């Protein structure tokens, strides 16, 4: 590809020199005949790709702008070569003039084509970046030795070793080691994520500081990164509906131009003579390029989708850009979307002589080996407080009720329902209060005495509040839809600041709410893409968040947020609004540009060279304007 571009530049450069030389000679008008031949050769050499394209398209039944350019140049060349001998009024100067114009026109079209091609190629930049992040080799442990092999040779289930500073070559699970991993390639979030045993890793992400051993689960074309690249490619090919407007126009554009060119020729021939008629027809053919119209939208769509992908957002086609721009209500699922989705210990209440450490320690001993999310929250809290947790002497989990354990001579009970102890009035009141706030109270009983209460709650994500505020700032209403109870819902709704909330809903009721909200609103529904897939499918634009690694979520959603950053919802909407207004602007601009240029050409105000410059300038400005969407950036997150 690069070689090809280089070749074209070389031709352009040579053409320029030859042209400059020929022009200098031409002014002297001494070697008229020789110059004519040189100019003809230049026009043919510079434009051969255009002619080939034009003629081949015609052969396949398509009238194209290349065909027009070919005809225009052909007319000029014939006029320059044949007319002086056929018509005595034609001097050498006129002949050289025609041929010079033909050569310059061919040169400008070629230059314009190259520049457009280059810019269009650059809009693939985002995709190329992702492709470049695809690993090519991996260090695999085989027969106790480390060997570096090509990525094609890595097998599922093998163990790869990733050193600090290396790219992780596969999707897999960490089986030993600990490190910070920069997942910006996938999620667009550049703050490294801690990875330790049991965590999932993605191919193409960067291991920053520790050595990791990873068990291979997905390779090559099956990795999350590879899927991402494919999705972006597919999305860029999906047209935006507004494209149809431009397409419909361009379908009629060229036939109309052919008629227009013939009429201009006829009208001028009978009133102003052959020479003027020739000039004007050539000029009309040269400005008759619907180029700006036909590429304004596709380039903008590609640039927008590329930009989004660099920010961890996959917009799955041009249609969704148009829907996104109209979104005026964003509904969020609660658990796992606005909240982290796992309970955390948020408070510890103590009774009597016991300290917070005591409460957490005894609770953690009893819960050490339990898999329940609440138990995990307690154990996590203990290690956060640097409390060493000894093993319980024995323990048993009573499903739905709690845990009973012994530690030496001590008897520990966790959980409300299995307490044989009468709860003190103080503890009872406290627990009631905690639960009314939508949190979970876990009483800790030591030798039949309540020594304290661990309060756990699902916590709001770091960026949820900011995400909601940003949406409000661009005029989007917000709502929360949850299956959870009213108290919890109210508490979370207040913390994140949504405009309205709906609680205690079954999945099918969530769908009903979405349908109701759609009455009068364009609704974006944000969820994890798995549990709330029906609600997502029924909204105008379904967002799945945290979608990296979950093919189902990516598949269901119209827009997939690969990371956990909810502020990207606002970014996707803002970017789409900008993109759409640019598409529309470009179409209008290209339309007006075409009309003006055509009028000027038909009335003989433009020369052929000026005409082609105008046409190219119109086209290139539209391409650049669209491609610039790639440079859009989200507002940085406030540091917390």
- Kindly indicate which of the ranges 16-24, 91-99, 120-128, 549-557 contains the residues binding other proteins, using the contact rule CB under 8 A: 120-128
* CA atoms 341, 346, 350, 355: torsion sign: positive
Which is nearer to other proteins, 213 or 247 (by Cβ)?
247
Contact track, other proteins, 27-66, x by CB under 8 A: -----------------------x--x--xx--x-xxxxx
Which is nearer to other proteins, 247 or 347 (by Cβ)?
247
Q: By CB under 8 A, tell whether 299 contacts other proteins.
A: yes
Residue 387 beta carbon to other proteins: minimum distance, rounded to whole angstroms? 52
Q: By CB under 8 A, tell whether 623 contacts other proteins.
A: yes
Size of the site for other proteins (CB under 8 A): 47
Q: What SS3 class is residue 518?
A: coil
Place of tokens 């100019």: 39
Contact track, other proteins, 361-390, x by CB under 8 A: ------------------------------
* CA atoms 500, 506, 507, 513: torsion sign: negative
Using CB under 8 A, which of 83, 109, 278, 498 touches other proteins? Answer: 109
Q: By CB under 8 A, tell whether 224 contacts other proteins.
A: no
Using CB under 8 A, which of 251, 262, 263, 599 touches other proteins? Answer: 251
Q: By CB under 8 A, tell whether 125 contacts other proteins.
A: no
Phi, psi of 202 (to 5 degrees): -115, 140
H-only helix segments in 390-547:
425-436, 464-473, 486-496, 507-517, 533-538
Using CB under 8 A, which of 127, 453, 503, 602 touches other proteins? Answer: 127
Cα(599)–Cα(200) distance, integer angstroms: 63
Q: By CB under 8 A, tell whether 523 contacts other proteins.
A: no
Chain centroid to Cα 140, Å, comes to 33
Q: By CB under 8 A, tell whether 450 contacts other proteins.
A: no
Q: By CB under 8 A, tell whether 116 contacts other proteins.
A: yes
CA angle 136, 140, 142 (to 5 degrees): 145
Which is nearer to other proteins, 298 or 483 (by Cβ)?
298
* CA atoms 288, 303, 53, 83: torsion sign: positive
Q: By CB under 8 A, tell whether 124 contacts other proteins.
A: yes
Contact (CB, 8 A) for 54 and 68:
yes
Annotated catalytic residue, options 166, 171, 279, 333: 333
Tokens of 344: 């955390």
Which is nearer to other proteins, 66 or 185 (by Cβ)?
66
Using CB under 8 A, which of 238, 376, 410, 578 touches other proteins? Answer: 238
Residue 298 beta carbon to other proteins: minimum distance, rounded to whole angstroms? 5
Residue 213, beta-bridge partner list: 161, 176
Contact track, other proteins, 257-296, x by CB under 8 A: --------------------------------xxx-xxx-
Cα(207)–Cα(219) distance, integer angstroms: 17
- Kindly indicate which of the ranges 225-233, 552-560, 567-575, 602-610 contains the residues binding other proteins, using the contact rule CB under 8 A: 225-233
Q: By CB under 8 A, tell whether 220 contacts other proteins.
A: yes
Cα(520)–Cα(246) distance, integer angstroms: 29
For 268-301, the DSSP string reads HHHHH-HHHHHHHHHHHHHH--THHHHHHHHHHH
Place of tokens 């709502």: 479
Q: By CB under 8 A, tell whether 302 contacts other proteins.
A: yes
- Spell out a b/e string for 472-492, using b for 16 or more CB atoms within 10 Å of the CB, else e: beeebbbbbbbbbeeebbbbb
Cα(554)–Cα(543) distance, integer angstroms: 9
Whether residue 333 lies in the annotated active site: yes
**What is the signed CA dihedral for 477, 482, 484, 486, rounded to 10 degrees?**
40
Residue 319 beta carbon to other proteins: minimum distance, rounded to whole angstroms? 12
Contact track, other proteins, 602-621, x by CB under 8 A: -----------------x--
The single-letter DSSP state of residue 208 is: -
By annotation, the residues acting in catalysis are: 333
Q: Which residues bind other proteins (CB under 8 A)?
A: 50, 53, 56-57, 60, 62-66, 69, 109, 113, 116-117, 120-121, 123-124, 127, 131, 152, 220-221, 229-230, 233-234, 236-238, 247, 250-251, 253-254, 289-291, 293-295, 298-299, 302, 619, 623
């Amino acid at each position: 590809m690069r070689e090809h571009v280089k070749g074209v530049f070389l031709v352009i450069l040579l053409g320029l020199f030859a042209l400059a030389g020929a022009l200098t000679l031409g002014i002297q008008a001494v070697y008229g005949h020789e110059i004519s031949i040189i100019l003809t050769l230049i026009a043919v050499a510079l434009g051969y790709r255009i002619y080939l394209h034009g003629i081949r398209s015609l052969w396949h039944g398509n009238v194209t702008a290349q065909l027009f350019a070919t005809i225009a140049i052909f007319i000029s060349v014939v006029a320059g070569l044949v007319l002086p001998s056929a018509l005595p009024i034609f001097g050498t100067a006129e002949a050289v003039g025609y041929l010079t114009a033909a050569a310059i026109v061919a040169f400008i079209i070629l230059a314009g084509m190259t520049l457009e091609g280059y810019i269009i190629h650059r809009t693939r930049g985002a995709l190329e970046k992702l492709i470049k992040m695809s690993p090519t080799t991996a260090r695999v442990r085989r027969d106790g030795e480390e060997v570096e092999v090509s990525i094609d040779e890595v097998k599922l289930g093998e163990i790869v070793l990733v050193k600090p500073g290396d790219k992780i070559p596969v999707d897999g699970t960490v089986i030993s080691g600990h490190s910070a991993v920069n997942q910006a390639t996938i999620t667009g979030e550049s703050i490294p994520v801690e990875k330790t045993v049991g965590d999932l890793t993605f191919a193409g992400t960067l291991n920053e500081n520790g050595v990791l051993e990873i068990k291979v689960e997905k390779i090559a074309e099956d990795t999350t990164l590879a899927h991402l690249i494919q999705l972006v490619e597919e999305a860029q090919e999906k047209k935006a509906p507004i494209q149809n407007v431009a397409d419909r126009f361009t379908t009629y554009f060229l036939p109309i131009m052919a008629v227009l060119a013939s009429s201009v020729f006829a009208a001028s021939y009978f009133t102003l003579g052959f020479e003027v008629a020739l000039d004007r027809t050539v000029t009309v053919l040269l400005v008759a390029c619907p180029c700006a119209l036909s590429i304004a939208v596709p380039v903008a769509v590609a640039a927008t989708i590329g930009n989004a992908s660099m920010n961890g957002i996959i917009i799955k086609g041009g249609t969704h850009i148009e829907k996104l721009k109209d979104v005026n209500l964003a509904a969020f699922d609660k658990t796992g979307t606005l909240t982290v989705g796992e309970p955390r210990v948020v408070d510890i209440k103590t009774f009597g002589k016991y300290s917070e450490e005591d409460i957490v320690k005894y609770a953690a001993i009893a819960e050490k080996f339990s898999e329940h999310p609440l138990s995990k929250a307690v154990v996590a809290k203990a290690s956060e407080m640097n409390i060493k947790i000894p093993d319980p002497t024995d323990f048993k989990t009573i499903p739905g009720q709690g845990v009973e354990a012994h530690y030496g001579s001590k008897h520990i009970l966790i959980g409300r329902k299995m307490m044989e102890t009468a709860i003190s009035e103080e503890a009872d009141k406290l627990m009631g209060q905690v639960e009314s706030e939508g949190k979970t109270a876990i009483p800790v009983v030591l030798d039949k005495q309540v020594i304290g209460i661990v309060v756990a709650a699902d916590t709001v994500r770091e960026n949820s509040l900011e995400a909601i505020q940003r949406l409000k700032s661009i005029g989007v209403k917000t709502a929360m839809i949850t299956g959870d109870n009213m108290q919890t819902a109210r508490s979370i709704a207040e913390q994140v600041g949504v405009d309205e909330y709906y609680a205690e809903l079954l999945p099918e009721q969530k769908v009903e709410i979405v349908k109701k909200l759609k009455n009068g609103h364009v609704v974006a529904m944000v969820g994890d893409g798995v549990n709330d897939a029906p609600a997502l499918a029924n909204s105008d634009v379904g967002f799945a968040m945290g979608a990296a690694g979950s093919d189902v979520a990516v598949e269901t959603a119209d827009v997939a947020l690969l990371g956990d950053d909810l502020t990207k919802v606002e970014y996707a909407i803002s970017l789409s609004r900008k993109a759409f207004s640019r598409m529309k602007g470009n179409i209008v601009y290209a339309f007006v540009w075409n009309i003006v240029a055509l009028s000027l050409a038909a009335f003989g105000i433009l020369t052929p060279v000026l005409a082609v410059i105008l046409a190219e300038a119109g086209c290139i400005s539209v391409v650049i304007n669209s491609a610039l969407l790639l440079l859009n950036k989200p507002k940085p997150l406030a540091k917390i």
